[in-house]
């Protein structure tokens, strides 16, 4: 055998080994789980940018808003089943809005001397905490400390005792109560499959939201790649109305949203801890708003609405 043939044979053998190794790596499966360490702290910011368009009595209204919430997660305990007890603290809030009611901005890292009325609740939220127990699959099993958190917010707002105080507490519970916080946390965390997955594998999860814009998201997640200790996961979702969601009680009126649409995007999570490093989701919803009880506008009325959102997850 000539030297050229020997070199060619060795080269082909090396390429074959590399190809087989690559194929094996591509077929390797990994069990993605939330696996945080007791005594450690983790940070995450969720930024929601929205354009809301409504046509009410032939008048078009556009609202642009940005809500950025920074969270600190202090892990207090991990039990033998892997369930994690976490103290969640609101580290920072950014709130910007431009619409029919005017334009303003609130940033807790640089708050104005006079807090805008629409931002007073956000200002009182900064520094508040609650505790949750979350499973390795990212499902919130329990939440406690919320009533104390809301009482602290009311105290910080320093409002006089007045007949509408019960309605104010009801509204705060609607935004920051147990169910609202559970849904908000699971939007960030409940992405994990039930069994080990390899690149190209898919799994489905349904997320039912009753607060804010009440919808049902049928999510299909796909492990697209693994790189430098990160799992890159793609999601595509079909969005339908949540017909079982209670209406939003605004005192003199009640509002229902009937929305459908789609969601898509990617998340990058650490393979070792399951912690989300970054991600971006886009949502497009449209449908009807149904309002009852505002007698000055009629016994009931409805109008079309469309919502375009970009949701980013990022470290800070």
3-state SS record for 222-289: EEEEEECCEEEEEEEEEEEECCCCCCEECCCCEEEEEEEEEEEEEEEEECCCCCEEEEEEEEEEEEEE
From CA 312, how far away is CA 316, in angstroms rounded?
A: 12
DSSP lists the bridge partners of residue 248 as 255
* Annotated domain spans of the chain: 32-314
From CA 40, how far away is CA 59, in angstroms rounded?
A: 52
Residues of the chain with pLDDT under 70: 1-27, 159-171, 294-299
The second-level CATH assignment, the architecture, of 32-314 is Roll (2.30)
Residue 175: predicted pLDDT: 77
pLDDT, tens only, 225-269:
999 999 999 999 999 999 999 888 777 788 999 999 999 999 999
Tracing tokens 């789980």 back to the chain, one arrives at: 33
Token pair of 184 as six digits: 């908000």
From CA 275, how far away is CA 43, in angstroms rounded?
A: 9
Assess contact for 164 and 137: CB atoms under 8 A.
Answer: no
Assess contact for 207 and 217: CB atoms under 8 A.
Answer: yes
CB atoms within 10 A of CB 193: 20
Residue 231: predicted pLDDT: 98
- Give the burial class of 184: count Cβ atoms within 10 A of its Cβ; 0-12 exposed, 13-18 middle, 19 or more buried: buried
Residue 26: predicted pLDDT: 45
């Amino acid at each position: 055998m000539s030297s050229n043939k020997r070199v060619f044979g060795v080269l082909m053998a090396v390429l074959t080994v590399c190809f087989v190794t690559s194929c094996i790596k591509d077929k390797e499966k990994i069990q993605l789980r939330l696996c945080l360490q007791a005594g450690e702290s983790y940070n995450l910011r969720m930024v929601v940018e929205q354009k809301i368009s409504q046509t009410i009595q032939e008048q078009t209204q556009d609202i642009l808003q940005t809500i950025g919430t920074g969270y600190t997660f202090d892990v207090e305990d991990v039990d033998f089943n892997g369930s994690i007890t976490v103290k969640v603290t609101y580290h920072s809030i950014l709130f910007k809005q431009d619409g029919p009611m005017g334009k303003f901005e609130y940033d807790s890292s640089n708050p104005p001397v006079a807090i805008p009325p629409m931002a007073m609740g956000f200002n009182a939220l900064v520094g508040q905490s609650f505790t949750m127990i979350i499973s390795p699959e990212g499902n919130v099993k329990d939440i406690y400390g919320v009533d104390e958190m809301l009482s602290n917010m009311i105290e910080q707002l320093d409002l006089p005792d007045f007949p509408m105080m019960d309605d104010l507490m009801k509204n705060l519970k609607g935004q920051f109560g147990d169910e609202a916080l559970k849904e908000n946390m699971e939007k960030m965390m409940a992405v994990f499959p039930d069994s080990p997955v390899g690149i190209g594998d898919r799994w489905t999860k349904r997320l039912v939201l009753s607060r804010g814009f009440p919808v049902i998201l049928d999510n299909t997640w796909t492990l697209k790649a693994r790189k430098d200790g990160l799992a890159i996961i793609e999601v595509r979702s079909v969005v339908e109305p949540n017909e079982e969601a209670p209406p939003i009680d605004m005192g003199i009126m009640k509002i229902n949203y009937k929305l459908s649409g789609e969601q898509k995007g990617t998340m990058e999570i650490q393979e070792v801890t399951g912690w989300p490093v970054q991600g971006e989701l886009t949502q497009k919803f449209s449908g009807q708003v149904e309002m009852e009880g505002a007698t000055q506008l009629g016994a009931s009325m409805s109008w079309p609405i469309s919502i375009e959102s970009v949701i980013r997850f990022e470290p800070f």
